[in-house]
Structure 1
Amino acid sequence: MDEKFDCIVIGGGVAGLAAAMTLARNNMKFLLIERGEFAGSKNVSGGVLWGSDLAKLVPNYWEEEDGGWERFINHRRLTLMDEQSAFTLDFKSSHFNEPPYSGVVVLRSKFDNWLSGKVQEAIDASDFAMDSFIATNIKVDEVLMENDKAVGIRTGEDEFHADSVIIAEGVNNLLTRQVGLQDDYVPADHMLTGIKEIIRFDQEVLEQKFQLNELSGMSNEFVGWATDGVEGGGFLYTNRDTISLGLVLGIKDMREKKKSPHDVLNHFKTHPAIADIIKGGEVVEYSAHVVSSGDKRVMPKELYKEGILLVGESANLLMNAGKAIQGMDYAMRSGILAAETIVKAKEKDDYSSATLSDYRKKMDESYVMKDINGFQDAVHLLHTETMQQKVPNLICDFGRQFFTIKNEPTPKSKDMLKDAVKRHASFWELVKLGFKAGKSL
């Protein structure tokens, strides 16, 4: 395989596959290299893929009998917890029932493999059906550089050359640092550990338990007692016949408090609200992986250089501002925009930084960077002690008072709230929190 490619994509996750699909549909000759035995084989993450970009890559994906997704989201929950109680903001709407869906739950090992098959179909339909490849079970050791410009990759003793390289290697961005776009390891205080169990139920039982209809699904985020005092939060997503239940925990905070992810997850599962949910289920999978915190200070100093573009978690594109955990949608959009930039570069026969800087402009104009830039204060606010502990305790305390009926005079709601505030915070803290939340959200 001595010929030169228009582009080499490193990584067969959501970002790399989105880039590959876009390249194939634009008749580009490319090589996608994936370290696992197949796309998704080493990917243990999962959750909700938000937005409509999937429908752009795979039109009418919802019509496939055995697509790569589990359920569409029409039910959202945000739960605040203390030791014994759970106060939930609950929203469900038939507005979300019509495709293309605003969010679909995916298990990445299944989804990535399915999307890889769609990329292969696009390759087969392109002008380079015999010249573009998805190569699996191969580890990229080095991005080849000449005069500070990417000219290909090295894997073992083999070299493959290309006019451009899209790095979609994920959060363990060794190659991103090798090419000089990130100086060092990201500090632990800006990284999180995601830990998850897949718990299986009879499908009918699961659908009754969560009031699901056909392929409708639910997402639930948790704040407060769930993390046993460690910075972070919990999540629950409904799959076809399983649920994904887990936590995202601050690595530095967990280390300082001498707690393990597994112990914190077991703590989470003992809460009355969670224990009731998982009763009768069978744990069939356990996994953990590192994710970015959403703090843009950890992003590489730039997303491009001569012949190189960074996409997805290799660029630390992830955010949780309290409404949803967004990462896969950012990865997909960045992959699409990077590939579109490479297509334009080929038309000009110019892969210089000046041309590839259009990718940065596209990203800055997209919802990805607008949200990351616009909601940084919300990201920081979410990780404060007030939001992580005091607010959940206060809200649950108020809920217990409000929903308790006794054979005695009932206090006014405002007095219940005052009492809860006095026990867990101060009015001044809440005023400051409200001011910050108003500015950040």
Structure 2
Amino acid sequence: MDEKFDCIIVGAGIAGLAAAMILARNNMKFLLIEKGDFAGSKNVSGGVLWGSDLARLVPEYWKEEDGGWERYINHRRLTFMDRESTFSIDFKSSHFNAPPYSGVVVLRSRFDRWLADKVQEAIDDSDFAMESFIATSIKVDEVLMEDDKATGIRTGEEEFHADSVIIAEGVNNLLTRQAGLQDDYVPADHMLTGIKEVIRLDQKVLEDRFQLNGLSGMSNEFIGYATDGVEGGGFLYTNRDTVSLGLVAGIRDMREKEKSPHDLLNQFKNHPVIQDTIRGGEVVEYSAHVVSSGDKQVMPKALYKDGLLLCGEAANLLMNAGKAIQGMDFAMRSGILGAETIIHAKKKGDFSSQTLQEYRRKLDETYVMKDINQFQDAVHMLHSPEMFRDIPNLVCDFGRKFFTIDSKPTRKSRRLFAESVKKHSSYWDLIKLGFKGGKSL
């Protein structure tokens, strides 16, 4: 048996699993390596997987009795928060009730394991059922290079060889740097810490509290007091019988303001509105991980070289421009495109960068890079102090005035708004921010 693989994939996260699924269905011989005990064991994140690519990988996934997802999203909420109050923009529509869903909530440890089982099914149905593998509990120490071309990987004393390597190692880009595609660690200015608790509630209580029907679900993002003036924001997603509640906060900003993720999360949970939301719940999981801010400046200088491709967070493919936190869908699409590029290279018998550059061209033509390029100004604006400090305080202050009825003559809304603007900002600052927002969104 020829022990050389067509492709070795490093990392069984969403990007790696998506690539493996496409390779298996196209009768490619590959090795998928994961350092955790099982796919998903190291993936502590969780949130909403947006888009339609899941239906491409697992057709009619919504019909499975025990699918890997929690709920579909038909309720979106954006909440501005100060110390006492919240003011929300709320949208719910039956338009989102029909599959394939535009967004599903996932818990990664469960979802990735389920998707890995689907990949194994595809391997079993392929021509290389006995020669393609998902190998877990293995740490890749090095990408093997010959004349600056990737030829395989080394783990401990063992070497595995392949025509190509897909690095889907996530945000801790050790192999990406070792392979020469990124010079150094991404600066702390562009990185955030995500911290999350999974809180269990009685399923009926959860569904009644969030007005859910069947497997419908809600996503809620928070701006303002959630991070107590630190760059970032909060989130809440409804799972089957739990909620995922947490924050993302700028690493450098936390350090400079001497805040800890744990203290910020406790403060967030003690906000009167959040207390009501999670009342009676039991914390069953706590996790933290590093994520990119979505600034394209921190993307590797190239996403490919001879015999090598980068997918998912290894390529810093993530964006939050205020509409949604997108990372898992970017990872899935990049994994699919990476695998398609490897299949094309196999047919040509050429795994050089000249052939693999097709991956970047394909990526540039998709919504992934088009959105990353088009909404960079929105990413920068969302991470500006005005957005996580002044604007939430202004909005909530106006909301308190507007909705208070106290047996006194009611004042015009424009006067109430003017008072809030004077207290927390200025009309000139709002005009500048409005201009930036209009230009960026």
TM-score by length of 2: 0.99
Matching residue's letter, 1:45? S
- Give how far 1:251 is off: 0.3
Q: For 1:127-142, list aligned pairs within 5 A.
A: 127-142=127-142
Contact preservation (8 Å) 2:229, 2:385: no
Report the secondary structure of 1:80's partner residue. Answer: strand
**Can you list the C-alpha shifts for 1:172-226, whole angstroms capped at 9, x where unaligned?**
0000000000000100010000000000011011000100001000000000011
Determine if contact 1:44/1:289 at 8 Å carries over to the other structure. yes
Query: In the alignment, does 2:348 pair up with 1:372?
Result: no
Q: Which amino acid aligns with 1:180?
A: G
Amino acid at match of 1:358: E
Partners of 1:164 and 1:97 in 2: CA distance: 41
What amino acid sits opposite 1:124 in the alignment?
D
CA contact 1:2–1:160 (8 Å) conserved in 2 = no
Taking every aligned residue pair, what percent have the same amino acid on both sides?
78
Task: String of CA shifts for 1:130-168, please: whole Å, max 9, x gaps.
Answer: 110000000000000000000000001111000000000
How much has 1:310 moved relative to structure 2? 0.2
Give the match for residue 100 of structure 2. 100
Structure 1 residue 61 and structure 2 residue 61: aligned? Answer: yes
Unaligned runs of 5+ in 1: none
Mapped to 1, the partners of 2:252 and 2:401 lie a distance apart of 36
**Distance between the aligned counterparts of 2:391 and 2:252, measured in 1?**
22
Shift of 1:416: 1.0
Question: What is the match of residue 214 of structure 2?
Answer: 214
Kindly indicate whether the alpha-carbon contact (under 8 Å) linking 1:81 and 1:87 is maintained by their aligned counterparts in 2.
Answer: yes
| One-letter amino acid matched to 1:350 | D
Report the residue type matching 1:256 in the other structure.
E
- Aligned partners of 1:2, 1:152: CA distance in 2, in Å? 14
Which residue of the partner structure matches residue 392 of structure 1?
A: 392
Provide, for residues 99-151 of structure 1, a one-character-per-residue CA deviation record: whole Å limited to 9, x for no partner: 00000000000000000000000001111111100000000000000000000
Q: Structure 2 CA distance, aligned partners of 1:122 and 1:214? A: 30
Post-superposition Cα deviations, 1:65-93, rounded to whole Å, max 9, x if no partner, equal 00000000000000000110100000000
Secondary structure of residue in 2 paired with 1:145: strand
2 CA distance for matches of 1:191 and 1:421? Answer: 31
Residue 342 of structure 1 corresponds to 342
TM-score scaled by structure 1? 0.99
Offset, 1:2: 6.0
Match of 1:189 in 2: 189
Distance (whole Å) between structure 2 residues aligned to residue 123 and residue 46 of structure 1? 26
| Structure 2 residue identity aligned to 1:128 | F
What is the letter of the counterpart of residue 132 of structure 1?
A: S
- Look up the SS of the partner of 1:151 in the other structure: strand
Aligned to 1:205: 205
Aligned counterpart, 1:411: 411
Q: 1:293-372, aligned counterparts within 5 Å?
A: 293-372=293-372
Q: In structure 2, what residue type is equivalent to 1:152? A: G
Q: Distance in 1 between matches of 2:195 and 2:406?
A: 41
Distance in 1 (CA, whole Å) between partners of 2:102 and 2:357 is: 30
Compute the displacement of 1:95 (Å): 0.2
Q: Contact 1:4 / 1:161 at 8 angstroms: preserved in 2?
A: yes
Q: Could you list the per-position Cα deviations for residues 342-389 of structure 1 after superposition, in whole angstroms to 9, with x for gaps in the alignment?
A: 000000000000000000000000100000000000000001111111
Deviation at 1:27, TM superposition (A): 0.7
Q: Deviations over 1:287-321 (max 9, x none)?
A: 00000000001100010000000000000110100
Once the 2 structures are TM-superposed, how far is the Cα of residue 419 of structure 1 from its aligned partner? Answer: 1.0
Matches of 2:139 and 2:284, distance apart in 1: 29
Deviations 1:226-266, CA, capped at 9 Å, x for gaps: 10121100000000000000000000000111111000000
Separation (CA, whole Å) in 1 of partners of 2:384 and 2:107: 30
The whole-number CA distance in structure 2 between the counterparts of 1:139 and 1:149 is 21
Is 1:21 the counterpart of 2:21? The answer is yes
CA contact (8 A) 2:151 2:307 kept: yes
- Distance in 1 (CA, whole Å) between partners of 2:203 and 2:279 is 14
- Whole-Å separation in 2 of the counterparts to 1:401 and 1:238: 31
Runs of 4+ residues over 2 Å off in structure 1: none
User: Aligned residue pairs: how many?
Assistant: 441
